[in-house]
Amino acid sequence: MMTEMALLTGRSIKRFSRTPPLIIISFAFPVVLMFTILPVYGGLIGDDYIQRFAPLIALSTATFGMSPSALGLFTDFRSGIFTRLRTMPLSAGSTITGRLAGDVLRIVAVAAVTILVAHIPGFRFSNGVLPVLGFFAVVAVFGAMCTAVSLLIALTAPDADTVQGSLGAPTTLAFFLSSGFIPVEAYPGWIQPVVQANPLSTAGNALIGLASGGPVLVPVLQTLAWAVGLGGLCGLLAVRAYRRRTA
């Protein structure tokens, strides 16, 4: 199964690397988003806003990539590629996992470039090498959760419009209702519990702690709970949906 997964992961990465428009959009969008919002809110919140905001932008490479990823899988499925894969001695689990692993590697690569660019306005890691590795490990875990959700949507949606509609609005709302955008205290009291429970907030808090100092254990455990609960459930349902559609 590991060999199958590695081959399918390589296929996913090759396909991404051979699609210049997708590469440009994937790497440019988070950078443009960062430099669009940073001048406005950085001036309102303070000079250290980049330490809060850059981790959110790194995570947004996963959330805002959900819709294109799901749409790509939806198109692949309708083109018959997965029917051909099903005729080969490949398990449904390795097929889904290979696609997930390829997307996670893409997410981490885009996040790494984004954080590198974030050094221009002043983002810095201040806790040593191991927290840097932990930083990108959290990005990978969060990315796996997002990819599992997008895989399930792609395999169960009746049409492309449903794929985009199911993911576009929720990911945008989650972005603007996260503690990485503005502090929790700045939101109205009635919505603060939602902001605190937002997986973008828990993962963002973990990244802030790893990069700049602050709580790490609790937000990491909260992020893992989201990944295991939501990501694991969606992953299992995606495998079942794949088996039904290719039976």
Q: What is the pLDDT of residues 186-200, one digit of tens each?
A: 899 999 999 999 999
Residues in the chain: 247
Please answer whether residues 3 and 98 qualify as being in contact, where contact means their C-beta atoms are separated by less than 8 angstroms: no
Look at residue 94 and tell me whether its pLDDT is greater than 90: no
204 alpha-carbon distance from chain centroid: 12
Find the distance separating the first CA and the last CA of the chain, reported in whole Å.
Answer: 20
**What is the DSSP annotation of 160-180?**
HHHHHHHHHHHHHHHHHTSTT
Instruction: Flag the least confident range among 34-48, 139-153, 212-226.
Output: 34-48
What is the pTM for the complete model shown? 0.90
Average pLDDT of span 56-66? 91
pLDDT in the model for residue 84: 62
The pLDDT mean for the chain works out to 85
Q: Where are the domains of the chain?
A: 2-246
Taking the C-alpha atoms of residue 197 and residue 181, their distance in angstroms, rounded to an integer, is: 14
In sequence order, which residues have a C-beta less than 8 Å from that of residue 170 and are 6 or more positions away? none
Average pLDDT of span 63-69? 86
pLDDT band for position 43 (cuts 50, 70, 90): low
